[in-house]
Amino acid sequence: MLKYLLVVLSESSTSFCHYESKPGKGLPKDLIPLKSLENAVTFALKNNLKVNVLYPARKLGQAYEDLIEGVDHVKIVPFAARERYPEAILVIESSDFPAAGELRNLRGGNIIFRLRRPALPKLSACLGRLLPHAKRINLVLTDVEKYGPGEFAEYRRQLETVSARLQAMSARKTPPELNVLTDRLVLGKMNNCDAGLSHLTVAPNGRLYLCPAFYYDSPDETLGEIRNDVPIGNRQLLELKYAPICRICDAYHCKRCVFLNRALTLELNTPSYQQCRLSHIEREASRLHLQKLKAAGGSSAVLADIPEIAYDDPFDVVAANKQSIAEFKKL
């Protein structure tokens, strides 16, 4: 069931996930037509949906601002627009990391930190600077398709250092959250992205897509105009129960990105080894993080332990033992 609608205001609206948006040209035609925005707002109101609005760095006209304020919404803005929208979720790019003075005035809100592969060795240092200024940070790794053994090993090392930073902050009244380390501590079932199931996207051309990534990758692959009966071909392939490995996996924090699935495996319901490997590195880092928090005492003692497993990728177990999915479930 749909819960919210993503609205991409411009070709150059900030990306909040793995995909890349397009450089802004500052032209009126880069913005979603006002009528299309009105249709999106009306659709959201009729279906009781919250709207997540992806903003560009450029200023909007007052008519756009008024329409957006007429519906329950969350603003997701590039760091450059933080002063115009002080209560928004900020997107910070590793390739354009803010100076210390720019971070000082942040209000302890939510941050999306998009880390590009060349900056991976700087992950813990960057998060060390961001965590004191945030309530929650969602880490997004870009260039995932280029990750290999070297990046996996580095990511593991970086998360170990980040875990130590978070432990040092755990005594705070409201310690910051980091999706890849703290989400798994409290989840008892899959908490995936669910593009096409819990949310759809309205692109700058006014048409619907599973998520912004599908628009930027293949704008002709649209779900059509904004209307109540949105046709999604083979919709069952988006559902967890039709994903044979994912449905029995307990890396519950994994976003199970269907765009990356299709891009890297050509199947919507089959994740690439990069996604599985990274999610299991995060799972193990979360398990060790929880152990240390429990050893230190405090409220974490009531959290359920995360079981130790002997693999980084479920496919490795199935392939090595020539087991069926049903047999793997018994491991």
Tens digits of per-residue pLDDT, 150-192?
999 999 999 999 999 999 998 888 899 999 999 999 999 999 9
Q: What is the mean pLDDT of the chain?
A: 91
Q: Which residues contact residue 207 at a Cβ distance below 8 angstroms, ignoring those fewer than 6 apart?
A: 222, 223, 224, 225, 226
Q: Residue 10's closest CA among 45, 34, 39?
A: 34
For residue 25, pLDDT over 90 is answered with no
pLDDT in tens, 223-259: 998 877 777 878 888 999 888 888 889 999 999 999 9
CATH number, span 4-186:
3.80.30
pLDDT band at 323, cuts 50/70/90? low
Four-residue CA torsion sign, 104, 108, 111, 115:
positive
List 200's β-bridge partners, or say none.
Answer: 5
- What is the model's pTM? 0.92
9 Ramachandran zone, left/alpha/beta (phi>0; psi -120 to 50): alpha
- HSE-CB for 102 with a 13 A CA cutoff: 11
Residue percentage of the chain with pLDDT more than 70: 94
Q: Residue 184's closest CA among 255, 265, 102, 103?
A: 255
How open is the CA angle 45-48-52, to the nearest 5 degrees?
A: 80
In angstroms, the CA 176 to CA 139 distance is 13
For residue 116, pLDDT over 70 is answered with yes
Q: Residue 39's closest CA among 200, 193, 221, 259?
A: 200
List 14's β-bridge partners, or say none.
Answer: none
72 vs 22, more confident: 72
